[in-house]
Structure 1
């Protein structure tokens, strides 16, 4: 199990979960900032964890 299991609001799963990967945060376009402050979707990281693949 991944060490960092803390989820940001925009994450679909914990980092390192099989079938997921990091993606640029859609709310701040990867900057980590929105509306003059920290992006709440990615907690300022600029990245979110999303499911990949699918059918």
Structure 2
């Protein structure tokens, strides 16, 4: 058995696949790596990250107060949605 420099066992030193698994994917069914995922809303100028990014969440747009409107036009900060995606928590 091989050991690392720190003395731990090297789990990758010997790896045998069970018979019959050749060519079978180890990825979950239903999503192939090269295809795009579900459509997401485009980022607005006020978004700090795309929707669904870990460590982020939606909040009311501070510029329009959540109405999505500034005067007679869509709010340029949230693109008229009234919501923006921002980082939450953190250090």
TM surpasses 0.5: yes
Q: Equivalents in 2 of 1:26, 1:2: separation in Å?
A: 28
Give the structure with the higher percent strand. Answer: 1
Gaps of 5+ in 2: 1-36
Pick one of 18, 25, 36 that aligns with 2:54: 18
Task: Give aligned pairs, total.
Answer: 55
RCO comparison, higher one (Cα < 8 Å, 6+): 1
Gaps of 5+ in 1: none
Q: Equivalents in 2 of 1:6, 1:32: separation in Å?
A: 15
Structure 1 stretch displaced more, 2-11 or 41-50:
2-11
Highest CA radius of gyration, 1 or 2? Answer: 2
Name the SS of the counterpart of 1:41 in structure 2: coil
Structure 1 stretch displaced more, 34-43 or 15-24:
34-43
Paired residue for 2:89?
53
Measured at CA, do residues 2 and 53 of structure 1 come closer, stay the same or move farther in structure 2, by a change above 3 Å?
farther
Structure 1 stretch displaced more, 31-40 or 21-30:
31-40
